[in-house]
């Protein structure tokens, strides 16, 4: 009679292990399904606008500044861009171009500052995709 309670306890342990095993399998399936869903549905698209470090040169005599900037497209397809350059709040240049996903445009530009520019002067670039705006800037002192 002593063996009977032990056998019942073993049966209960086996039953608990089976329930835990089933719960773990269900959790893994739900996790995989959720991961696959979010990886395929929620693909973020964006564009990266940047100024290349140590590329700025301010020529006081010519009242101009030159620098290198870059744009990298992480959009889902071909995207049209408009890049507008400002000295303080005055538009000094603009450029229109298109990039495919993964393409990079890097370019050196020289802009003439307005004659009445005051310092410090904020040089800013605004990238417009039609849906989003990105902005970067640096200061001339």
User: Which tens digits make up the pLDDT trace of 53-111?
Assistant: 999 999 999 999 999 999 999 998 899 999 999 999 899 999 999 999 999 999 999 99
Residue 136: how many CA atoms within 13 Å on its side-chain side? 14
Longest dimension (CA), the chain: 106
Q: Among 21, 23, 24, 1, which residue's Cα sits nearest to residue 13?
A: 21
Average pLDDT over residues 10-16: 64
Spatial separation of the C-alpha atoms in residues 39 and 21, rounded to whole Å: 27
Is 88 within 8 Å of 117 (Cβ atoms)? yes
Spatial separation of the C-alpha atoms in residues 45 and 73, rounded to whole Å: 8
């Amino acid at each position: 009679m002593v063996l009977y309670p032990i056998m019942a306890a073993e049966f209960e342990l086996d039953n608990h292990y089976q329930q835990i095993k089933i719960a773990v399998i269900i959790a893994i399936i739900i996790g995989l399904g959720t991961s696959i869903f979010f990886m395929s549905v929620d693909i973020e698209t964006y564009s990266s606008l940047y100024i290349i470090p140590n590329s700025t040169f301010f020529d006081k005599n010519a009242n101009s500044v030159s620098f290198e900037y870059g744009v990298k497209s992480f959009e889902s397809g071909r995207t049209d861009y408009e890049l507008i350059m400002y000295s303080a709040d005055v538009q000094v240049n603009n450029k229109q171009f298109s990039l495919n996903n993964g393409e990079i445009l890097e370019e050196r530009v020289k802009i003439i500052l307005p004659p009445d520019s005051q310092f410090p002067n904020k040089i800013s670039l605004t990238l417009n995709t039609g849906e989003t705006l990105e902005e970067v800037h640096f200061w001339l002192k």
